[in-house]
Amino acid sequence: MAKRRLAIFVATVCVVVWTLSFLVGDARAQQPACAAGSAILLGAASSVCGVGANRPGVVAYKGIAYATAGRWQSPQPAPWPPAGALEAVQFGPICPQDDPPQRAAEDCLYLNVWTPENAINGGRSLPVMLFIHGGAFVRGLGSLSLYDGSAFAARGAVVVTFNYRLGALGFLSANALGSGEIGGNFGLRDQQAAMAWVQRNIAPFGGDPKRVTLFGESAGAMSVGLHTFDMPSSGPLFAAALMQSNPLGIQYLTPPEAGRRGATFLRALCDAVNASAGASRCPGDPAWAAKAPVAAILKAQTDATGRLERSIGLADLRLSALIERILEVQSLPWAPVIDGKLVVGEPYAGYAPDVRPFKPIAFGVNADEGPLFVARAYPRAPWDFTSWAYRGFLALRFGLRAGAILGTPRYSPDALVSPRYYSAAGAAYANLMTDYVFACGNLSAVNAALAQSSEPAFGYRFAQPPFTDLYGRPPDTVTDFGACAPSEAKPNVCHGAELPYVFDTLDAVATANDRPRALDRTLAEAMNAAWFAFAENPAAPGKPWLAYDGDGKVLEWSGDGVGAADLDGPASCSALWLHALPYRGAAVGSRR
């Protein structure tokens, strides 16, 4: 069997994480003309101007092309400086994805900059915060109001967000059906292109290219982890890394695995392009895949997953078929590939041998990462996620350790009650996911990094109960079945819940009935200040950050104030999960 993976998480992350893009508004609103005093002079006949932002004294420059790329080709730098006067007043198109919340096009490699007005034209040299959005590598955009960089810029940072190619357009790896070899990892190369643009061009905006902090959430944090630990060519492009809710327990595809999935996708694409002819007609033109309409590519992405499910007998209710479906099919269908060239290893094992320089690192997780994904995955199956299915999954995934897992009340259906949004087995699996995939995966990576490097690390746990449900509200394309609702007796602090606090954009997710409380606004200001402090001096960001020394102790954020939390003990990391695969094979210091 190919490399085993957790599944209900990765199956649903493709549907769930991107939901935030529907909840925080559409950035297509009419933009004003350039703001007075916003012009940045780039040469005798070249300039760029922007618009006023959401904080006084901050200017936003939107829709700047940082690269161009043909389909399934590496990105090339876009012309810069611009010829003449560029009015950067409106966000560029986002990358193709299902049901895009903003205008989408294959020409989508655009970035956005927020900066203090008094920093432009070399007025200051400020830390740069370069954010990578999440979305399971199939959805997302850098122009969400949730990611507005105004609050950071008002503190004295230059903030950059950007789009990168997604889905099959960003991560297809294949050599089949006459298409020629398609190498994959194009989305990661786009990210590198944005990072390189910042190195070359951020100074006139007031940014210091030697002080770039790369940060991201979910798939964005996965990307940050790869750039930090396993992409040698990314090393010179940033100075520090901050990962929010990186699911480090998820392993990336190998080239053979990615190739098999790519071949399945190309067959689905062939049918989508020429439904009446059958698969054998498409390879007649060696460039047929490169000419396929975007709509056909998006359809084929969905169809390919269905074909994989059918190939293992989804209708077969035997335990073996269910486990096969969980472990093999329901992983991230479009994600980075460990190709041995661009990506050389797994981040949970720390720094790969050729990755330099080492970086100051900050990392963190939310108190309840798992419930959202299990709530979404559970109703999708034609049967309940029963105790026997959960026990079978544990036996196949963890072998002899299954008994110890079931003997821990936090992971035992017999010791838990059924929430209204899934079974007791689902509750156990949600806890397992929170701990094994998120908390312990982060500890594995950072513990290994600390054994290899003298650079510091800082950790956090976000535990603030929500004031609004980021997922279970209109437009009801995705719902959490109440798993992340603030009305629960013990509300879950779900995946993504920290984002409006980090960016101090609480009003972007508020509703008429669910408004931020005073404690939410206080917490958002404190977290935004702490993220800025890390970017300003990542080696010594000061209080409230706590230096992590491998003991599992991290900073805890909540409306009750900052405190300390133990990620290790309650999550059974040292007691259980760090002795299980894949972490067991990533002994601390093994990469020295």
Whether the pLDDT of residue 438 is over 60: the answer is yes
The residue count for the chain: 592
Query: Under DSSP, is residue 561 helix (H, G, I), strand (E, B) or coil?
Result: coil
Q: Which amino acid is at 503?
A: F
pLDDT, position 410: 97
Q: Rounded mean pLDDT of 470-490? A: 73
pLDDT, position 286: 64
Query: Under DSSP, is residue 84 helix (H, G, I), strand (E, B) or coil?
Result: strand
The percentage of residues in the chain with a pLDDT greater than 70, rounded to a whole number, is 83
Known catalytic residues are 218
DSSP-derived letter for residue 411 is: G
Whether the pLDDT of residue 2 is over 70: the answer is no
Q: Rounded mean pLDDT of 464-490? A: 77
pLDDT tens profile 269-317: 988 887 644 455 666 566 788 889 999 999 999 888 766 555 543 333 3
Identify which of 109, 202, 215 has the alpha carbon closest to the alpha carbon of residue 158.
Answer: 202
What's the gap between Cα 377 and its chain centre? Answer: 19
Grade residue 506 by pLDDT with cuts at 50, 70 and 90.
very high
pLDDT, position 27: 43
Q: And the tokens for 493? A: 């602090």
Helix (H) or strand (E) holding 64: strand 58-65
Identity of the highest mean pLDDT range in 9-18, 215-224, 332-341:
215-224
Whether the pLDDT of residue 55 is over 80: the answer is yes
Q: Specify the higher pLDDT residue, 59 or 372.
A: 59
Whether the pLDDT of residue 7 is over 60: the answer is no
What's the gap between Cα 416 and its chain centre? Answer: 30
Residue 265 has a CB neighbour count (10 Å cut-off) of 29
pLDDT, position 552: 96
Q: Rounded mean pLDDT of 19-23? A: 46
Q: Rounded mean pLDDT of 122-139? A: 95
Whether the pLDDT of residue 331 is over 80: the answer is no
DSSP-derived letter for residue 80 is: -
Which of 240-249, 286-295, 351-360, 412-421 bottoms out in mean pLDDT, i.e. has the lowest? Answer: 286-295
pLDDT, position 275: 63
Q: Rounded mean pLDDT of 555-561? A: 92
pLDDT, position 380: 54
User: In degrees, to the nearest 5, what angle opens at C-alpha 29 toward C-alphas 24 and 33?
Assistant: 130
For every residue of 139-154, DSSP letters joined together read: S--TT-GGG--HHHHH
End-to-end CA distance of the chain: 30
**CA distance linking residue 494 with residue 513, whole number of Å:** 20
Whether the pLDDT of residue 341 is over 90: the answer is yes
Domains in the chain, start-ordered, CATH in brackets?
Answer: 354-585 (3.40.50.1820)
Which of 104-118, 235-249, 473-487 bottoms out in mean pLDDT, i.e. has the lowest? Answer: 473-487
Q: Rounded mean pLDDT of 372-385? A: 67
User: In degrees, to the nearest 5, what angle opens at C-alpha 427 toward C-alphas 422 and 433?
Assistant: 120
Q: Write the CA distances from 538 to 116, 147, 294, 499, integer angstroms.
A: 21, 21, 41, 20
Q: Write the CA distances from 502 to 217, 424, 473, 522, 554, integer angstroms.
A: 11, 33, 22, 12, 17
Whether the pLDDT of residue 241 is over 80: the answer is yes
Whether the pLDDT of residue 381 is over 80: the answer is no
pLDDT, position 182: 86
How do 58-65 and 110-116 pair as beta strands? antiparallel
Which of 436-445, 524-533, 559-568 bottoms out in mean pLDDT, i.e. has the lowest? Answer: 559-568
Q: Rounded mean pLDDT of 521-547? A: 97
Q: And the tokens for 123? A: 């007025």
pLDDT, position 20: 52
pLDDT tens profile 456-474: 999 999 999 999 998 876 5
Q: And the tokens for 417? A: 């009650």
Q: Is the peptide bond before 357 cis (omega within 30 degrees of 0)?
A: yes
pLDDT tens profile 65-84: 999 999 999 999 999 999 99
Whether the pLDDT of residue 11 is over 50: the answer is no
Q: What interhelical angle do 387-398 and 424-432 show, nearest 10?
A: 30
Residue 54's contacts (CB-CB under 8 Å, 6 or more residues apart) are 148, 150, 151
Grade residue 31 by pLDDT with cuts at 50, 70 and 90.
low
Residue 123 has a CB neighbour count (10 Å cut-off) of 13
For every residue of 105-116, DSSP letters joined together read: -S---EEEEEEE
Whether the pLDDT of residue 21 is over 70: the answer is no
Query: Under DSSP, is residue 77 helix (H, G, I), strand (E, B) or coil?
Result: strand
The percentage of residues in the chain with a pLDDT greater than 90, rounded to a whole number, is 67
Mean pLDDT of the chain: 87
